[in-house]
Chain A
Amino acid sequence: MSEAVVTRRSDRRESESFSTRVLRETLARYGARFGLAWIAVVALAAVFAPFLANSHPIAMKVDGAWQSPLLTHLTWIDLALLAAFAAAVGAWLLRRRLSGPRRLAMVALVTVVAAGTSYLTLSPPMAVIFDQYRSGLADGSIESAIFAPVPFSPTDRSRDNPLSLTPPDALHLMGTDEDGADVLSRMIHACRIALGIGFVATGIALAIGILYGGIMGFFTGWVEILMMRFLEIFESIPQLFLLLTVVAFFGRNIYLIMAVIGLTSWPGYARYLRAEFLKLRRQDFVQAAEACGLPIWSILFRHMLPNGVAPLLVGASFGIASAILAEAVLSFLGLGVVDEPSWGGMLNQAVGPGGTFAVWLATYPGLAIFLTVFAYNLIGEALRDAIDPHLQRQPS
């Protein structure tokens, strides 16, 4: 009986694909588990941010009738994120019915459709007076209201009663910032920027890096020399300098920041893929594909890329960490997003001009940046060990 079980398990191990093995070995490491758990927490906070921290009541009773200001104030981004989350959960439930690429396509399709329709149809009120709920409850025009767990919006700056830089208390669990906004609420909403910047910037960098590196590794001679020169130019500019220049000259826009971080961090991937392709080029299966007369894009991206892509994932994991860090530094220097909450921007307020020090503004945002960067680094290290235990330790 036990013998049969043993053989079956070893059978499965032998027949499992490369990706399944890498996934299994990555998840076997505690570091990767911790990293994934923290990123799951951040992702959940990002998706459900409006339901976790919002000044708009979930439901309130006015003139005997119930209404929900929270739902009417949802933006298209809120709905797109919720749809993406629902689609991801659905894809996981259907994992035995659908293949991997189909599940991915399903999530992407649902997200795009939800984002598009809600962008076109939703028009939340532009002018928002957060104080109306507090004064309404006080004077009795709102009979009763149910609030989110953190009853403050990230931009609810309570200008009427100056509460700036109050230490944590029962009302504001993590204190307030310079403008009197609730730090916990801003922390929750800032998860969106942290997650978004990591994925979008690294996605752009990976796409450019793969295309550029693939071409560089396949064609030799003048093309390669010219492309290598161009790559060195990008490598020689400190990323932060270029980022600062672009942001200062084009304006502070979160999408622009994502794009620029992506556009400045591709050389590493391109260099890596070039080296990998130079090795693969000499192998028989590539020669065979060439002899068959396949078009170049097919040889490059359908035959060679899948064989060289695994180590790129390790780089991408470290890349997400450094993209998050880059955005935090930018916000810290006062050149990040305006008005929107960002961990780096909050950290900037911890040390006041007069030498005052707000511990809560240093601890919580700093810890969040640290844990997120640490989580991606841990996942990257686990992935690297799982893919190739003998891989040289590269600086990230």
Chain B
Amino acid sequence: MVNYVIRRLLLMVPTLLGITVLVFSVMAMAPGGIGANLLTRGGDMRPEERQAMMEYLNRRYGLDQPMTTQYLRWLNNVLPIGYETQADGSRGAFGVKVPDLGMSFVKNRPVIDLVAEALPVTLLLNALTVPLVFAGSILMGVYTARYRGQALDVGIGTANLALWSVPTIWMGVLLIGFFASEQYLKWFPTTGLESLRADTWTFLPLHTEAGWQRGFLLDVLWHMVLPIACLTYSSFAFLTKLTRSAVLENLLADYARTARAKGASDQVVLWRHVFRNSLLPLITVAASILPGFLVGSVIVETIFSIDGMGRLVVEAVQMRDREVVLSITLISGLLTLVSYLLVDICYALADPRVSYE
């Protein structure tokens, strides 16, 4: 198992290289490309300041050099081992160094800071979404499989089919329109993840003489209701359908009948025998669903104005912010590959017959 994991981790390296080469060449081939003159948005700068900024960017990132040189310089910067880059752009000593994701040309801040602000938000959304989706859909799938053919099963099945086909953009607009706008119910906030002065509040709800204050935790949860509803519903519907058919297939299998014949109770047959076997298709599907949440958060973060990775990437792409786009591609590619690996490991854990030796 350890060997397998190490081999898979090593195989990630060429894939990640390929991803960055691909995205880099897309940006490099664009008409105009990325030059310092495009990136310096110095509306309020004096011409000489602007010129100095351009020269600095050219020196630091080699933007006036051929594309291959630019790419190799970028690669050298993000790797933990390589030549150090001095402030004037010249090459320093070779050795172990701190990986440098570069500066955002537009925001004039280190990319690592921007990511450090945005990534926790997206991870928080996903950390709540993924367990919710899996726990909910497994329970509902098992339940509908057990009471198959009854009115409730048929109703849930039809609702799921429809839910699965509703585009996230439509659901988001409807949720925000009906539950957060002035004209209809104004139950939830429309933007952001916290209220304006929430950072001055206590973490837990507080009751004082001045009145009731909901506290930071409840405030964030209140803000996250609609975004999470928007992120979960479609995978929830899909996974419920999948769990139902998997459990159903196993409930009708010979070994389940044998278990019942030897006197095992319905509960034992369902949860000890059938359930574990039904998990396998769910894990297979997880490989394609986990990266999907990342994309889903692009849409949801745009609709609900949440400053996460999704919004960062949309903004960076619109502003042609090269370093940010490349860094986010690298990070999201890494997250995708790691989630594939996790899924394969889960597969081996759930099914003793699967072995990677």
Contacts and interface: CB of A to CB of B under 8 A. Distances in A.
B176 A245 contact: no
A357 B299 contact: no
Contacts of A236: 15, 19, 291, 333, 336-337
A373 B314 CA distance: 24
Interface string A321-335: 000010011001101
Contact of B173 (A238, A350, A356, A393): A350
Interface size bracket, A side: 35 or more
A233 B19 contact: yes
B285 A395 contact: yes
B165 A374 contact: yes
Q: Which of the listed residues A240, A242, A366, A395 has the most CB atoms from chain B within 10 Å of its own CB?
A: A395
B22 A233 contact: yes
29 contacts: A230-B18, A232-B15, A233-B15, A237-B19, A238-B332, A238-B336, A240-B295, A241-B313, A244-B313, A244-B314, A244-B317, A248-B317, A249-B320, A251-B31, A329-B299, A347-B173, A351-B173, A351-B177, A351-B303, A357-B184, A359-B177, A362-B170, A366-B167, A366-B170, A367-B170, A373-B167, A374-B165, A393-B245, A393-B281
A249 B321 CA distance: 10
A237 B23 contact: yes
A241 B336 CA distance: 13
Contact of B182 (A232, A246, A356): A356
Contact of A246 (B15, B26, B313): B26
A56 to B, nearest CB: 32
Interface size bracket, B side: 35 or more
Given A362-B173, A362-B177, A377 B23 contact: no
A81 to B, nearest CB: 26
B239 to A, nearest CB: 10
Nearest to B326: A245
Interface in A309-339: 325, 328-329, 332-333, 335
A244 B18 CA distance: 18
A192 to B, nearest CB: 19
Given A236-B15, A325-B167, A362 B174 contact: yes
B104 to A, nearest CB: 15
Nearest to A238: B295
Nearest to A248: B317
Contact of A238 (B162, B183, B281, B294): B294
Contacts of B168: 329
Contacts of A367: 170
A337 to B, nearest CB: 16
B23 A357 contact: no
B129 interface: no
B72 interface: no
- Tell me whether chain B's interface is mostly helix, strand or loop, or mixed: helix
A244 B298 CA distance: 11
A332 B19 contact: no
Given A233-B19, A362-B173, A369 B336 contact: no
A250 interface: yes
A244 B332 CA distance: 14
B26 A242 contact: yes
Contact of A366 (B14, B23, B173, B337): B173
Contacts, number: 136
Interface string B318-335: 101000010011001100
Nearest to A239: B295
B167 A249 contact: no
A249 B177 contact: no
A370 interface: yes
Contacts of B15: 229, 232-233, 236
B169 A395 contact: no
B261 interface: no
B49 to A, nearest CB: 27
A355 interface: yes
Given A237-B23, A355-B181, A356-B183, A370 B170 contact: yes
Contacts of A214: none
A217 interface: no
A344 interface: yes
B242 interface: yes
A110 to B, nearest CB: 35
A241 B329 contact: yes
B37 interface: no
B318 A335 contact: yes
Interface in A235-266: 236-242, 244-246, 248-251
B302 interface: yes
Given A332-B169, A374-B165, A393-B245, 11 more contacts: A236-B336, A239-B295, A245-B317, A250-B30, A332-B302, A335-B314, A350-B177, A355-B180, A356-B182, A359-B177, A366-B167
Interface string B164-192: 11111110011011101111100000100
Contacts of B291: 236, 238
Contacts of A356: 181-183
A156 to B, nearest CB: 25
Nearest to A331: B169
A233 B169 contact: no
B329 A351 contact: no
Shortest 4 CB-CB contacts between residues of A and residues of B: A249-B30, A366-B170, A233-B18, A357-B181
